[in-house]
Amino acid sequence: MFSLHIDTARGWRGGQSQVLHIVQGLRAIGHRAVLVAHPDGELLRRMSEGHDLIPIAARGEVDLSAAWRLSRLIMRLAPEVIHAHDPHAVAMAATALSIVAPSPKPPLIGSRRIVSPMAKNSFSRWKYSQVDCFVANSVATRDRLAAEGIPRDKITIVHEGIDVERIVRMPAANVHAEFFLPTHAPIVGNVAALVPHKGHHHLIDAAALVVRDVPDVRFVIVGDGELRDALERQVRDKHLERHVFLAGFRTDALALTKGFDLFAVSSVTEGMCAALIDAMAASKAAVATEAGAIAEVVVDRKTGFLVPPRDHAAMAARLVVLLKDTALRQRMGEAALARVRAAFTVERMVEETAAAYARLAGTRRGAGTASLSARG
């Protein structure tokens, strides 16, 4: 199977991690997988160099120049399927296929990792109408797509996957030394972009309550984004400078996660939260909101605790329980690792993705043969 993958992001978030795993995983099982990515992006940097890595930057959702370059690439390479991994990638691929439609036209697959509504403008409706199959990362995402009018028979669920054993083997970072924290202070960690839907201001509100019961606790938030200044002000306003640290973007986020005592997810909307799955592979119990597909990942009271979104008091209460009960924290962490080994491995994700490609390509080939027979 020969697939062409497109990711337009310049930064590094959970989606880019999933693209890297899919492309590398497909190559490992003998498929050819060509990746089109932003020339200055973190994804391209983290992939090894080679002729199957092609830099193309999309300057927004409608970029005819980028789409033209992609159309030339599609004509030259003739992939069996095209997999667009983000909304701008869907736009670029749909436009490229409309500029020059090869024969037979490869099916277009669009990934959907979030449960927020699709844009309602005419271009958005057009680009998604060109998608032959949507790959949803969860039941919640599938249900959102169906609510948007996408036929359920055009949606395939493939849960996200991680390299579990790599995380298990990875040495933990010394978070205390890295951030000059008191040696025995328990650490609650969070890894997420500082954007509104991640709900960090609720986490900081929860931290203000937690320190009343566990004065030595420290919160380390790894990630950067548009809300950094606002969150720094909130930390100052609540006099939490000694307790809450905004660590910024870190390439060693996984090693830091292994050094946390506990993981917290404060999202108000969410897909599957790849950072949460990483933390579970690192044997960390979690306190997480029930937003989006998180309830498909965390087993409440077994691998962690689930709380309502925006309820900082409930989150604080559960954090305190786990901070004060080391044995419970350890049992939940062990159960979390067992869960990701059973349900969220890269191997499973790649196998299910490859099967979706084969079904779609086979359907397209069958339709093409039937059409030729009819004409003959």
Where does residue 285 rank: exposed (0-12), middle (13-18), buried (19+ CB within 10 A)?
buried
Per-residue pLDDT of the chain (376 residues; tens, 9 = 90+): 999 999 999 888 888 989 999 999 999 999 999 999 999 888 988 887 667 999 998 888 888 999 999 999 999 999 999 999 999 999 999 999 998 766 778 999 999 988 877 888 889 899 999 999 999 999 999 999 999 999 999 999 999 999 999 999 999 999 999 999 999 999 999 999 999 999 999 999 999 999 999 999 999 999 999 999 999 999 999 999 999 999 999 989 999 999 999 999 999 998 888 899 999 999 999 999 999 899 999 999 999 999 999 999 999 999 999 999 999 999 999 999 999 999 999 999 999 999 999 998 876 655 543 332 333 3
Q: What is the pLDDT of residue 229?
A: 97
**d(C-alpha 257, C-alpha 242), whole Å:** 20
Q: What is the DSSP string of 137-159?
A: SSHHHHHHHHHTT--GGGEEE--
**Fold: same for 2-161+345-375 and 164-343:** yes
Residue spans of the domains in the chain: they are 2-161+345-375, 164-343
Q: Which of 176, 172, 341, 335 is nearest to 259 (CA)?
A: 172
**d(C-alpha 374, C-alpha 277), whole Å:** 49
Distance of alpha carbon 34 from the chain centroid: 20
Q: What is the pLDDT of residue 104?
A: 78
Q: What is the pLDDT of residue 146?
A: 93
Query: What ranges in the chain are assigned the alpha helix state H?
Result: 14-28, 42-46, 64-77, 87-99, 122-129, 139-147, 164-169, 175-178, 200-213, 228-237, 253-259, 274-281, 312-324, 326-343, 346-375
DSSP state of 118: P
Q: Which of 226, 188, 183 is nearest to 207 (CA)?
A: 188
For 67-84, what is each residue's pLDDT tens digit? 999 999 999 999 999 999
The 10 Å Cβ neighbour count of residue 306 is 21
Topology, domain 164-343: Rossmann fold (3.40.50)
Distance of alpha carbon 122 from the chain centroid: 27
Q: What is the pLDDT of residue 369?
A: 36
**d(C-alpha 289, C-alpha 312), whole Å:** 10
Q: Residue for token digits 């599957």?
A: 272
- 358 Cβ partners below 8 Å, 6+ apart? 1
The 10 Å Cβ neighbour count of residue 122 is 8
Q: Residue for token digits 């309820």?
A: 311
Q: Is 164 in contact with 254 (CB distance < 8 Å)?
A: no
pTM: 0.81
Burial state string for 353-369 with b = 16 or more CB within 10 A and e = fewer than 16: bbebbeebbeebeeeee
Dmax over CA atoms of the chain, in Å, equals 80
Q: Which of 256, 255, 168, 184 is nearest to 220 (CA)?
A: 256
- 133 Cβ partners below 8 Å, 6+ apart? 107, 108, 109, 110, 154, 155, 156, 356, 360
Query: What is the architecture, at CATH level 2, of domain 2-161+345-375?
Result: 3-Layer(aba) Sandwich (3.40)
Pairing assessment for the beta strands 262-265 and 244-248 based on DSSP bridges: unpaired
DSSP state of 49: P
Q: Is 332 in contact with 302 (CB distance < 8 Å)?
A: yes
**d(C-alpha 126, C-alpha 178), whole Å:** 49
